[in-house]
Amino acid sequence: MITLDFDSIQIDRLITHFVGNPMREEDLLLSNGYTEIHEDSMIFLLKYFVTPFKPLDFYNFKPTADDGKSDVFTSVKQIFEDPAKLVDASKDIARLLYEHSNNEKIKEGELNVVFFNDVVFDDEMVNAIGIFKSETVEPFLLMSESGKQYQIGHGTGFPLKGIDKACMIFNVDEEEGYYVLTVDKSKKGDYWQNEFLRLKPSSDEYHYTQDVMNIAKEFLTKKVEKEHELDRTETINMLNKTMDYFKSNTDFVQGDFEETVFENDDIRKAFQEYNTEIRTTNELEDVSSFEISEQAVKKQTRAFKSVLKLDKNFHVYIHGDKSLIEKGKEEDGRKFYKIYFEEEN
């Protein structure tokens, strides 16, 4: 797992632009000089920028397109090569974001492009570039004492609890598209990550683990039940086996996983075809063996729901041996499940 340490991070220089929504005929306002930062505000600004990032889910920039159009990767590379180019390169980034803000739901906001020093990335001190868009403005109260009495007023600003959209690019592995962390608080679309930044998952254990678990879950919950006429209990059993495999093994081996999880040759073959289809469509790297990421497994645990829902009356949580539950049907057409157990807790 890659480690990050922001304890020594410093803002070398920063510039702020305003990016509106062209569909609402809002402006793109570009600054010509660096943004001034009050010294006593620096600690809060760094907290605002750094807090959202978790060193788990890394991405890389996709290769630059051959159509001659500008992209964020090219602008970032220019800044890393010469930080004095931040003003001009950040304008290119702002123009690019403006072009991609062509959906009525996209909010206007301030765009900060920041050059950072002294970030510890896997025990190496590196530079980083941050791209932050602040959209959510909230009111706050101001209580000030004067002459043994208080005055209460208010102001508006950006809450420290979380920035709306952000990415942090670390000056590591330029040839692979750098290492990038990204945040999109809105979760209403992929324009920030896929269209504006043009990112792809990093080739690492975290994404390898996440990809296999996602593909297996989608296959079992959306495809296999209908095509192979399985009971819900059989599907849940294979979901449980999938989670057990990733929790009990340190390494993933494709053939071993398929033999362990899937009930018969037909289902195994169907999974192999589905796996190939999804990876081809989404341009996911196909890796047959890798070290399992505990962090990815922990994150996926919540998505693997072993719940049998029966109308609106019962939810049955199935965690183990499927032979302890039987499905049947009464003569009058009513369906039932019979559950065996040794002791009631």
Mind listing the pLDDT tens digit for each residue in 143-190? 998 888 989 999 998 988 889 999 999 999 999 899 999 999 886 658
Give the pLDDT of residue 26: 95
**Residues linked to residue 110 through DSSP beta bridges, in sequence order:** 18, 134
Give the containing element (helix H, strand E) for 90: helix 86-99
- 35-66 pLDDT, tens per residue? 999 999 999 999 999 998 987 789 999 988 76
pLDDT tens sequence across 69-78:
789 999 999 9
pLDDT band for position 235 (cuts 50, 70, 90): confident
Q: How many helices (H) and strands (E) does the chain have?
A: 9, 17
3-state helix, strand, coil in the chain (%, to 5): 40, 30, 35
Q: How far apart are CA 197 and CA 131, in angstroms?
A: 10
In whole angstroms, what is the distance from residue 264 CA to residue 12 CA? Answer: 59
Q: For residue 283, what pLDDT band results from cuts at 50, 70 and 90?
A: confident
pTM of the model: 0.73
**Helix (H, G, I), strand (E, B), or coil: what is residue 86?**
helix
